[in-house]
């Protein structure tokens, strides 16, 4: 063990411990370690306190098996996280190309050969043919010919959550309350509880689009399990437009909404419904919209499925972690889990 004023490095003795097992072991002891820390302005542990820790160390072979299982889960969780980032980046890039930069329309208007446009933008000839080849003036400037300008709140419904302290949980059945903190964390661990008898519209399911319009403004596709929609959150839905369309348009205006909230002379900045009306979106004709769905819709669906799998893997890891470290699973059971 080597220590300086602010940090401590533990170097595993490979004859007695596996380095990744040691990492997970210390990770499992976070609450105990935190409870031993002292100091007012900045809590800390002394080197002497650290040396007094008593931790379970099975054989190196068992340590290696435990570390392999937990490490494999962590690697898969990280892979899913990176895949989610890639999927969302792809969806946003396509959206910007179509609805912000108008790449297909500009390319056709410039006389670029269709084969070149399709190859460069990843479009099929049938889809490219549905994009216009000219522009028209509008209230927000030049837009593709035949497209219409609409308000954000006209393409989707923005349902504000309930003051859920008025719906306290009773009995053994309850719903976790989804507030801004839960939206940012992506889960409902340690969340407040609400009655299951709230109106069905205020029940949040995996795959719902949530938009926190006060405090920390975020727009996310919720994948943290069923819950109850708290005030200061919108559940965004639409009977007329696909999820990717209203999700990405709301995301498109997010920075604008954050700027509005930041300029509010209150401790908790927010936007109002009029700002949803002021935010404009562009709508292509129905045929082109339908042709866009098979291209961008599956990216959002895959993103949701990857996030759900990531949550399942995280729950599995967190369930196995204490059982593995306390020796609750035998070597044959470890091999079965692996």
Does the pTM surpass 0.75? The reply is yes
Give the pLDDT confidence score for residue 253 in this predicted structure: 97
Number of H helices, E strands in the chain: 14, 14
Give the pLDDT confidence score for residue 13 in this predicted structure: 63
Give the pLDDT confidence score for residue 44 in this predicted structure: 65
Domain 57-147+284-338 has CATH 3.10.20.30: no
3-state class (DSSP) for residue 71: helix
Query: pLDDT tens digits, residue range 193-219?
Result: 999 999 999 999 999 999 999 988 999
User: Which CB contacts under 8 angstroms, 24+ apart, belong to 51-56?
Assistant: 51/1, 53/29, 55/25, 55/26, 55/29, 56/25, 56/325, 56/326, 56/327
Give the pLDDT confidence score for residue 16 in this predicted structure: 66
Any idea which fold 152-274 has? Answer: Adenine-n6-DNA-methyltransferase TaqI; Chain A, domain 2 (3.90.220)
CA dist 271 and 232 (Å) reads 10
**Structural domain spans, the chain:** 57-147+284-338, 152-274
Give the pLDDT confidence score for residue 36 in this predicted structure: 61
Tell me if 57-147+284-338 shares its fold with 152-274: no
Query: pLDDT tens digits, residue range 107-141?
Result: 999 999 999 999 999 999 999 999 999 999 999 99
Give the pLDDT confidence score for residue 203 in this predicted structure: 97
Q: Residue 24: name the closest of 10, 38, 35, 36 by CA.
A: 10
Low-confidence ranges of the chain (pLDDT < 50): 1, 3, 5
């Amino acid at each position: 063990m080597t220590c300086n004023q602010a940090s401590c490095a533990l170097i595993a003795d490979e004859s007695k411990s596996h380095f990744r097992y040691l990492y997970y072991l210390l990770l499992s002891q976070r609450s105990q370690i935190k409870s031993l820390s002292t100091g007012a302005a900045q809590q800390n542990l002394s080197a002497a306190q650290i040396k007094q820790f008593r931790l379970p160390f099975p054989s190196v072979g068992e340590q290696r098996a435990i570390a392999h299982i937990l490490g494999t889960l962590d690697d898969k969780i990280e892979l899913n996280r990176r895949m989610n980032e890639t999927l969302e980046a792809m969806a946003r890039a396509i959206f910007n190309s179509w609805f912000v930069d108008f790449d297909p329309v500009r390319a056709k208007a410039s006389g670029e050969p269709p084969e070149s446009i399709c190859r460069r933008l990843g479009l099929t000839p049938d889809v490219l043919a549905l994009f216009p080849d000219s522009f028209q003036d509008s209230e927000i400037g030049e837009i593709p010919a035949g497209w219409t300008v609409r308000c954000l709140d006209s393409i989707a419904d923005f349902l504000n959550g309930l003051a859920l302290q008025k719906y306290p949980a009773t009995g053994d059945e309850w719903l976790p309350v989804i507030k801004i903190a839960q939206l940012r964390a992506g889960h409902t661990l340690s969340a407040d509880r609400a009655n299951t008898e709230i109106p069905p519209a205020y029940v949040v399911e995996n795959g719902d689009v949530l938009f926190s319009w006060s405090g920390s403004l975020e727009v996310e596709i919720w994948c943290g399990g069923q819950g109850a929609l708290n005030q200061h959150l919108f559940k965004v839905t639409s009977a007329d437009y696909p999820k990717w369309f209203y999700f990405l348009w709301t995301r498109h205006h997010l920075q604008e909404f954050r700027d509005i909230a930041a300029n509010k002379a209150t401790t908790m900045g927010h936007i109002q419904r009029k700002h949803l009306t002021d935010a404009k979106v562009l709508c292509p004709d129905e045929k082109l919209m339908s042709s866009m769905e098979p291209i961008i819709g599956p990216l959002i669906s895959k993103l949701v499925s990857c996030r759900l799998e990531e949550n399942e893997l995280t729950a599995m890891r967190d369930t196995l972690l204490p059982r593995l470290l306390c020796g609750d699973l035998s070597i044959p059971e470890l091999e079965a889990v692996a």
